[in-house]
Amino acid sequence: MDLEFLQSVDVQILVGVAVAVLAIGVAAAYLFSSRKSKGCLDPENYKEFKLVKRQQLSHNVAKFAFALPTPTSVLGLPIGQHISCRGKDSQGDEVIKPYTPTTLDSDVGYFELVIKMYPQGRMSHHFREMRVGDYLPVKGPKGRFRYQPGQARAFGMIAGGSGITPMFQVARAILENPKDTSNVHLIYANVTYEDILLKEELDGLVAKYPGRFKVYYVLNQPPAVWDGGVGFVSKEIIQIHCPAPAPDIQILRCGPPPMNKAMAGHLDALGYSPEMQFQFCP
């Protein structure tokens, strides 16, 4: 057989192998970089996001929308986790506080925070002073909660005040995921009707997912006409409006520290084991 012919065949084989190896390398690099770049958060370093919209919802509550780098970018925050936000208080001192966005990664190009601003709140001062065009330093993700579709047959949620934000995020993720058939039962406590955050959105989920999502509002100072709960969340309210203790249910809670402590006592007394309970707030 002609030696020159054999040499040309060898060269073609080598070139073909080299091209294949190069193609595999490029594909692997692309996959690695795309996985690595998914999400805009950095758990170690603060990244700044521009405020593009501010909507006042009440005298002390506002919704803040922050732009992500591109219209198709996602924040990359796992369901049920939160971010650390950095700002300055009224004295100019640095303050850091955790917040849970009300948006999911299905909301591309931006993320939203619903913030209740307290008169003496140090981070509240920073958000009160924020204007469109300002930047918010953010770091994350943070948190211990891990959501997996179908991890529970039913979720009970007990929230107070601004503790509704992680509940809303988790509820949306469950209900909007076609692979998750879990039912969600939310008890949401506040002082007055005006204090109820995300009420329009919560009622919208009730209407969109009838039978799967239920909300029971509890007010300490209800209006004259009111068909919800009155006073504080009691053991009886939990018995009626949360799934009964069982290995395949989970109770989530988030509210002010005194409320969290009281709810833990109620849940223990009703027979909910520690494995059935998760607290978002410290």
Is 206 annotated to bind a ligand? Reply is: no
Contact assessment for residue 252 and residue 157, using Cβ atoms and an 8 Å cutoff: yes
Rounded CA-CA distance 13/35 in Å is: 33
Distance CA 141, CA 79 (A): 10
Residue 30: φ, ψ to 5°:
-65, -45
Beta strand 249-254 with 277-279 is parallel
Cα–Cα distance between 85 and 93 in angstroms, integer? 14
Q: Is 123 annotated as a binding residue?
A: yes
Give me the catalytic one of 40, 82, 188, 266. Answer: 82
Annotation marks residue 82 as catalytic: yes
Concerning whether 147 is annotated as a catalytic residue, the answer is no
Q: Confirm or deny that 165 is annotated as ligand binding.
A: yes
Residue tagged active-site, from 40, 85, 99, 242: 99
Q: Is 99 a catalytic residue?
A: yes
Catalytic residue among 40, 100, 110, 217: 100
Q: Residue 192, annotated ligand binder?
A: no
| The two three-digit tokens of residue 228, written as one number | 């919800």
Active-site residue, selected from the candidate residues 110, 217, 254, 272: 254
Query: Is 99 annotated as a binding-site member?
Result: yes
Pairing verdict, β 135-142 and 82-88: antiparallel
Q: Is 182 annotated as a binding residue?
A: no
Q: Is 114 among the annotated ligand-binding positions?
A: yes
Name the CA radius of gyration of the chain, rounded.
25
Residues annotated as catalytic are 82, 99-100, 254
Residue stretches of the annotated binding site for FAD: 98-99, 114, 116, 123-124, 165
Residue positions in the annotated binding site?
98-99, 114, 116, 123-124, 165
